[in-house]
Amino acid sequence: MFTGDSCHNLNEIVIFPHSIIFAIFKLYFFWDFLKWDILHITFEGGRSGEMKQWSIVILAIACAAVLWLGNQQWKEKVLVKSDPATGATRATVSTAGTTEQLPDHEQDLSAYTRNWPEAAQTLFKRTVAEERSFKILLAGSKALGENDTGWANLLATELDQTYGDAVDVSVKSYDSTSLEFIQANKQAELAAEQADLVLLEPFILMNNGEVDNDQAAEHYSLIIAAIHTAKPDAVVLLQPANPLSNARFYPLQVEALKAYADANGLDYLDHWQAWPESEAERLQLLAGGDPSFPNEAGHKLWADYLIDYFIAN
């Protein structure tokens, strides 16, 4: 693939081929041979002036024909075009009658999305084709982290560095249960983001001991309905908050959330698979502050799982 600023404003680049150079050498020897014929005709006393003129005309026509044919042959072999939609260049190479289209920048970015739901992949390609950013919303409780070392900010940074202007990532966290969230009509704030993809941690840890599973499921549905009302083709992903050490009822809440995702056809990102099973090791990822939420190392582990999902290698 050709890259660089010089390629962005050109519709077509054709490189001067070696075949044309060889053709010029051939014409030179042809002219050398023809020149002696002309001199021979001149010394023989023929119509030398007229023959010279016709010989020069014939030579000029032959030269133009060879140059044009050589250039056309090369253009069939190598043709580099600029995509007006993205400004990226795309090379098409013809070999033995077959044409292979090399991947451009847009296709390279799409490769990173292969872990996403199919609907999200299709929507991403469409937004890139329309030259607008694919909006990603990371939402949930304060389990998202409240500073730059929180998993949400770590993920947002990686998405920005990988996808650049092709994505627009926003983070919204709330210190509330799902009941308090609905009562304050905060779902309208999420809907107003008009996000193409929403990764929602639905206040499951904040609900622990406060909101039962059936009521929580109703809240999830209200949040998702608001998002889809504002943007029907939005893709919603669910994930739990962080695991706890020595918890008894909280894991049951998490299982209920996973069952809700399955029943409603929603992708569920089970980052708990990345956490250590050992209670002692898990406690090390929660120690240092509020034991209900991850410390910096715990947020890093959580972020790494999500980065691997959103940026496939």
CA distance 249 to 3: 56
Residue bearing the bigger pLDDT, 35 or 313? 313
- State the Cα–Cα distance between residues 239 and 141, nearest whole angstrom: 12
What pLDDT, on a 0 to 100 scale, did the predictor assign at position 276? 93
Per-residue pLDDT at 205 exceeds 70: yes
Question: Structurally, how many domains does the chain consist of?
Answer: 2
pLDDT, position 245: 86
Mean pLDDT of 70-96: 40
* The pair of three-digit structure tokens given for residue 20, joined into one six-digit string: 């044309």
Judgement on whether residues 92 and 119 belong to the same structural domain of the protein: no
What mean pLDDT is predicted for residues 228-239?
A: 98
Q: Which domain holds residue 304?
A: 108-310
Same domain, 42 and 164: no
Q: How confident is residue 108, by pLDDT bands cut at 50, 70 and 90?
A: confident
Cα–Cα nearest to 196, from 102, 96, 121:
121
Q: Quick one: 137 and 240 in the same domain? A: yes
Which of 118 and 277 is assigned the larger pLDDT?
118
Q: Are residues 176 and 94 in the same domain?
A: no
The verdict on 113 and 85 lying in the same domain is no
Instruction: Quote the distance between the C-alpha of residue 33 and its chain's center.
Output: 61
DSSP string for residues in 7-45:
HHT-S-B-PPPHHHHHHHHHHHHHHHHHHHHHHHHHHTT
Angular region, 213: left φ>0, alpha ψ -120 to 50, beta rest: alpha
Residues 129 and 92 in one domain: no
What's the CATH code of the domain at 267? Answer: 3.40.50.1110
Q: Which has more pLDDT, 232 or 288?
A: 232
Residue 285 has pLDDT above 80, yes or no: yes
200 and 223 part of one domain = yes
Sheet with 197-201, side-by-side order of all strands: 167-174, 134-141, 197-201, 235-238, 267-268
- Give residue 246's pLDDT: 85
What's the whole-number mean pLDDT along residues 186-211? 97
* Domain-terminating residue out of 77, 102, 127: 102
145 plus 162 within the same structural domain: yes
Residues 167 and 293 in one domain: yes
Q: Among candidates 77, 120, 101, which has minimal Cα distance to 309?
A: 120
Which of the residue ranges 11-20, 55-64, 81-90 would you say has the lowest mean pLDDT?
81-90
* Site of tokens 């937004």: 127
Residues 158 and 288 in one domain: yes
Lowest mean pLDDT among 151-160, 286-295, 302-311: 286-295
Give me the pLDDT at residue 13, please: 35
pLDDT score, position 257: 98
- Taking the C-alpha atoms of residue 251 and residue 247, their distance in angstroms, rounded to an integer, is 7
Domain end residue (candidates: 54, 73, 102): 102
Average pLDDT of the chain is 79
How far apart are the C-alpha atoms of 297 and 158, rounded to whole Å? Answer: 17
Boundary (domain end) residue, out of 80, 102, 124: 102
**Worst-scoring range by mean pLDDT, 127-131, 175-179, 286-290?**
286-290
Mean pLDDT on 294-310? 97
Instruction: Say whether pLDDT at 254 is over 70.
Output: yes
233 and 86 within one domain? no
User: How high is the pLDDT of residue 81?
Assistant: 36
Q: Per mean pLDDT, which range of 54-63, 69-78, 86-95, 205-214 is the poorest?
A: 86-95
**Residue holding tokens 């770590």?**
154
For the chain, counts of helices (H) and of strands (E): 12, 8
Q: Does position 88 have pLDDT exceeding 60, yes or no?
A: no
In terms of domains, do 220 and 301 share one?
Answer: yes
278 against 177, higher pLDDT: 177
